[in-house]
Structure 1
Amino acid sequence: MKSWWRPSLRVPASQPLSQTVEQLNQWQPEILIAYASMVGILAEEQLTGRLQIQPRVVYPASEVLTSRTRNQAKEAWGNEPFNQYVATETASIAAEHLACRRMHFFDDLVITEVVDEQYRPVPAGEYGAKLLVTTLFSRTQPLIRYELNDSVRVSTEPHHCGLPFAVLESIEGRVEDSFSLPAVSGGEVLVRPLVINRIMDIAPVSGWQVVQQADSGLVVLLTGAHDGMTDETLANQISESLAQEGVHIPYIRIEHVSEIPKTAAGKAPLIKAYRP
């Protein structure tokens, strides 16, 4: 496809990976914008030599960018990717700034409010349950306090990069991506994705996905496992991380697969919570 200002190629993330690699090799993009999970997959293809592109800039979006994916992209293409916080309904909400490598809100384009479950303001330095977004640029159909079920935290630290905009310090992920797991003390505990991410980010694998089962057990899918960690060790580390959150997990099962399953939209979510 071509835009009015620059030729562009739109590739469905749901199509076979080999087809995507072939199209990108032919196109040779200068700028690569993709789901964060797809950036990791394409970086792995680049490192194996099947993908041979040299984009000047890589923009992951629409999913939490893990440290592993960031490092993979840097190794594959020589530069750190620029993380973006984007929603389909509102367009870009925040993005990394080159001078400081911190994510700044686009305060001149959107008004963002971090709130709790009862829509009360949450102070900077604490995670909220939702984000309310008001767009300042959409005249045809403005969005006023549009609700995103994202848990984010605004930084309290001063920044000296020159931008006057607030800093988005951390994104825990969508509330829908959180696990409700049995608590040691009874009832359930809501477990945010970062509890799993901090273990899996350093696991010697190319890709992963944690799938909650109907009985609250967890199945961990792995691709491209390297030497250095046994399945038992990984399961124990995840179990210990969950125990710190007060969780009693029935079981953790490790499975090695050739490819991480994708959604109909082409995303390969890291966390798949059970939703009856």
Structure 2
Amino acid sequence: MLRRGLRAAALFVADGHIGASAALAAARRRSAFLASRARVFSVLRPVPDLVREINEFQPTIVEGYPSALALLAGEQRAGRLAIEPLLAITAGEQLTPALRADIESAFGCPIQNRYASAELPGLSMECRYGSLHVNTDWYLFEPVDENYQPVAAGAVSHTVLVTNLANRVQPLIRYDLGDRVKLTGTPCACGKRLPATTVEGRAADLLLFEAPDGTAITVLPLALVTVIEETPGVHRCQAIRTGPRALTVRLEMSPDTDPGQVWRAVDERLHAYFAAQQTAPVAVEHAVEPPAVDPRSGKFRQVWSAH
């Protein structure tokens, strides 16, 4: 990597209050070296533009959501993307064994997975044995049951509460991440003394919509949800792909908002987003029911495909 030179490409939502993007932007402002060697590529960009820009940049490290790197892996296999990264870093979504194998195979490099959030960067990091070690010297990490009581090591929690007093602007006290985790409770072969955990994250499947010529266009789940979430008046949302040209949206709106105005804004943003992705027109259904937990898992899923 030193011979080729560090060139890091981070694939996240480039706008808004996204921890990874904001941290990299701040680092680039402080360092002329990083300003030329590290870039954020917005996952909201149309895929052809994203591929062209990454081809021009030729990163030695690629970092992003697993679904975003899986999309790039498909572009690499198709010959439209031609990069030779030495390391891939995933964060923000669950990395399944199948996704890991797909990404590593396409790029010919190992993956280092991380479990964190926009509010809690650096929460954990994967070791060479595949364990996620929680940075308990920086965070208080509490797996709890439905009554917010501690669960023993080896048991799957209902959720996990995290405390970080180091953030002087906004200290977080027992912040509910909404993820089910399991502390292993046994020493890791790597020798690290930080506790190891497994995470049942929020897996997100790539969504396929139809192009005007009938071919399939891949849309990133987090990008789609961000378009809806950042609409003024939207407090919480769910998006369900119900067909190659159909999307159902559930909204929970902020108090004192005009529902009709919010829905019109959501429609306009979604139609503009799908047009930028070069899909055929997508019919957006306004669901009557509000966002709800998945009855099978008891977890809240923001986006999925019904078919």
Q: Deviations over 1:208-262 (max 9, x none)?
A: 55xxxxxxxxxxx699xxxxxxxxxxxxxxxxxxxxxxxxxxxxxxxx9432463
Distance of 1:266 and 1:60 partners within structure 2: 22
Query: Where does residue 123 of structure 2 map in the other structure?
Result: 93
Distance of 2:190 and 2:45 partners within structure 1: 40
Query: Where does residue 4 of structure 1 map in the other structure?
Result: 30
Distance of 2:104 and 2:227 partners within structure 1: 23
Higher relative contact order (CA 8 A, sep 6+): 1
- What's the secondary structure of 1:131's corresponding residue? strand
- What's the secondary structure of 1:65's corresponding residue? coil
2:59 aligned to 17, 23, 29, which one? 29
Distance of 2:227 and 2:131 partners within structure 1: 28
Query: Where does residue 265 of structure 1 map in the other structure?
Result: 226
Distance of 1:10 and 1:51 partners within structure 2: 17
2:106 counterpart of 1:76: yes
Normalising by structure 1, we get a TM-score of: 0.64
2:87 counterpart of 1:57: yes
Distance of 2:29 and 2:154 partners within structure 1: 40
2:88 counterpart of 1:129: no
Deviation larger for 38-47 or 139-148: 139-148
- What's the secondary structure of 1:258's corresponding residue? strand
Q: Deviations over 1:64-87 (max 9, x none)?
A: 001121011211222221111010
1:139 aligned to 156, 160, 168, which one? 168
> What code does the residue aligned with 1:29 have?
P
Checking the alignment, whether the CA contact within 8 Å between 2:76 and 2:82 is kept in structure 1 is yes
- What's the secondary structure of 1:145's corresponding residue? strand
The structure carrying a bigger helix percent of its residues is: 2
Checking the alignment, whether the CA contact within 8 Å between 2:85 and 2:109 is kept in structure 1 is no
Change (3 A) 1:14 1:62: same
2:46 counterpart of 1:16: yes
Offset at 1:156? 3.0
> What code does the residue aligned with 1:258 have?
I
- What's the secondary structure of 1:68's corresponding residue? helix
- What's the secondary structure of 2:95's corresponding residue? coil
Counterpart mapping for 1:106-255 below 5 A: 106-169=135-198, 171-174=199-202, 208=206
> What code does the residue aligned with 1:265 have?
T
Structure 1: 5+ residue stretches without partners: 175-192, 198-206, 210-220, 224-255
Q: Deviations over 1:2-26 (max 9, x none)?
A: 3434132111111111111111111
Change (3 A) 1:95 1:19: same
Distance of 1:127 and 1:54 partners within structure 2: 38
Change (3 A) 1:82 1:123: same
Count of residue pairs the alignment pairs up = 198
Structure 2: 5+ residue stretches without partners: 1-24, 229-238, 242-249, 251-290, 293-307
Normalising by structure 2, we get a TM-score of: 0.58
Query: Where does residue 274 of structure 2 map in the other structure?
Result: none
- What's the secondary structure of 1:24's corresponding residue? helix
Q: Percent identity?
A: 30
Offset at 1:130? 1.2
Change (3 A) 1:265 1:222: closer
Query: Where does residue 238 of structure 1 map in the other structure?
Result: none
CA RMSD between the two structures: 2.8
Distance of 2:200 and 2:100 partners within structure 1: 16
Offset at 1:136? 4.4
Distance of 1:49 and 1:136 partners within structure 2: 47
Change (3 A) 1:208 1:139: closer
Distance of 2:154 and 2:180 partners within structure 1: 12
